[in-house]
Amino acid sequence: MIINAIANFVTSVISHLGYPGIFLLMALESACIPI
H or E stretch covering 5: helix 2-17
18: helix, strand or coil: coil
The separation between CA 27 and the C-alpha centre of its own chain, rounded to angstroms, equals 10
pLDDT at 12: 95
Angle between helices 19-30 and 2-17 (to 10 degrees): 130
- Residue 31 DSSP code: T
For the chain, the straight-line distance linking the first and the last C-alpha, in angstroms and rounded, comes to 15
Q: What is the pLDDT of residues 1-35, one digit of tens each?
A: 889 998 999 999 999 999 999 999 999 888 876 66
pLDDT at 32: 78
